[in-house]
Amino acid sequence: MEITDEKLNKLKERANNIRISLIEALVIAGSGHTAGSLDMADIFAVLFFHTLRHDPKKPEWPERDRLVLSNGHICPVLYSAMAHAGYFPVEELKTLRRFGSRLQGHPHRDFLPMLESSSGPLGSGLSQAVGMALADKIDHGLTSERRIYALLSDGEQECGQTWEAAMLAGKEKLHNLIAVIDRNNIQIDGYTENVMPLESLSDKWRAWNWHVIEIDGHNIEEIADAFETARAIFGKPTVIIAHTIAGRGVPEFERDYRWHGKPPSKEEGEMAIKELRTLGGKIKSEYQ
């Protein structure tokens, strides 16, 4: 499906607004994960406003696609995308990580039942998505139009369970399963290739019988195209390795692993939002 320039610009604007809201939420919360949340904003914008078959007004619609966020610590971007898509008021983002909030520090379905999964401990999201895809295959065979999306971090490629799940999905030829890896090259202790070298990631996934697509994780058109291709791949699951820049959107935060697990201060947040709102005057934001 060709994506029009108008749609493209709209999606860019969505991504920008997702970033602004998550920065605001993180500043108020005073803790949380900034880098991964920012760098996945473009992918979340495409998913929630273009690719996903879902209905924010009917979160329990049985026929919906499923989205499992495995690396639950980047939930600020999930919550922000959900709020902007209409699942709950954008204003509620300001309750992030507070006592009694539906927006727990790591996603928890007890508090926000419209989540497909509670997550936080790394490495188990893909397995859950595999289970969902298997259920869909049992019920609908190979004709199912439903897709199960699993969003993974690159750090959790170090978890053995990720590979247990990859193996099973390859064996079961789960064409209805699409994984996305946020390849931002950082994790808590440093750069991934220093902590535990992961390359060649693509060869590893191909070896387990997955179709591999590598993209610029900030190019809206490439993201949308990759999902379109993934939906058309038959006979095997697809993994999209999205090359992203940690902290994308705020140059001061970019490419620095120290932003993995801390929030911006009030001043840093104001600076970040100012940059995001103007972005060289290229994007018209609802905040302008």
Partner 1 sequence: MLNPDLKLNEKMFDRDVEQVSIRQGFGEGLLAAGEKNTQVVGLCADLTESTKMNLFSEKFPNRFIQVGVAEQNLASVASGLAAMGKIPFISSYAMFSPGRNWEQIRTTICYNNRPVKIAGSHTGISVGPDGGTHQAIEDIAITRVIPRMVVLSPCDAIEAKKATLASMDTGTPVYIRLAREKTPVMTTELTPFGIGEAQIFWQSANPQAGIIATGALLHRALLAAKELEEKGTEVEVMNLSTIKPLDEETIIKFARKTGKIVTVEEHQIRGGMGSAVAECLAKNFPVPMEFIGVDDLFGQSGTPDELIEHYNMDTKSIIKAVNKIMKR
Nearer to partner 1, 21 or 176 (CB): 176
CB of residue 168 vs partner 1: minimum separation in angstroms? 6
Q: How many residues bind partner 1 (CB under 8 A)?
A: 32
Query: Who's near 219: CB < 8 A, 6+ residues apart?
Result: 42
Nearest of 28, 97, 17 to residue 265 by alpha carbon: 28
Q: Name which position in 2, 110, 203, 267 contacts partner 1 (CB under 8 A).
A: 110
Q: Which stretch binds partner 1 (CB under 8 A): 33-41, 79-87, 129-137, 190-198?
A: 129-137
Q: How many CB atoms lie within 10 A of CB 122?
A: 20
Are β-strands 211-216 and 238-243 bridged in parallel, bridged antiparallel, or unpaired?
parallel
CB of residue 129 vs partner 1: minimum separation in angstroms? 6
Q: Name which position in 77, 85, 132, 250 contacts partner 1 (CB under 8 A).
A: 132
Q: What is the DSSP string of 151-179?
A: EEESGGGGSHHHHHHHHHHHHTT-TTEEE
* Residue 143 contacts partner 1 per CB under 8 A: no
The enclosing H or E element of 66 equals strand 66-69
Cα dihedral: 23, 29, 33, 38 (round 10):
-10
* Residue 118 contacts partner 1 per CB under 8 A: yes
Q: How many CB atoms lie within 10 A of CB 42?
A: 28
Q: Name which position in 158, 164, 216, 228 contacts partner 1 (CB under 8 A).
A: 164
The two tokens of residue 125 are 């999201």
Please give the Cα distance from 34 to 75 (Å, whole number).
Answer: 10
* Residue 120 contacts partner 1 per CB under 8 A: yes
Q: Name which position in 135, 142, 188, 196 contacts partner 1 (CB under 8 A).
A: 135
Q: Which stretch binds partner 1 (CB under 8 A): 46-54, 114-122, 189-197, 263-271?
A: 114-122
> Are the beta carbons of 20 and 94 closer than 8 angstroms?
no
Nearer to partner 1, 70 or 184 (CB): 70
- Specify the DSSP class assigned to residue 48: I
Nearer to partner 1, 67 or 226 (CB): 67
Report CA-CA distances (Å) from 189 to 70, 186, 248. Answer: 19, 8, 19
- Contacts with partner 1 in 16-55 (CB under 8 A)? none
Q: Name which position in 121, 158, 219, 233 contacts partner 1 (CB under 8 A).
A: 121
Q: Which stretch binds partner 1 (CB under 8 A): 78-86, 158-166, 242-250, 251-259?
A: 158-166
Q: Name which position in 45, 75, 168, 226 contacts partner 1 (CB under 8 A).
A: 168
Please give the Cα distance from 278 to 285 (Å, whole number).
Answer: 8
* Residue 129 contacts partner 1 per CB under 8 A: yes
- Contacts with partner 1 in 242-281 (CB under 8 A)? none
The enclosing H or E element of 215 equals strand 211-216
User: Rule CB under 8 A: which residues touch partner 1?
Assistant: 66, 68, 108-110, 116-121, 123-124, 127-136, 138-139, 160-161, 164-165, 167-168, 172
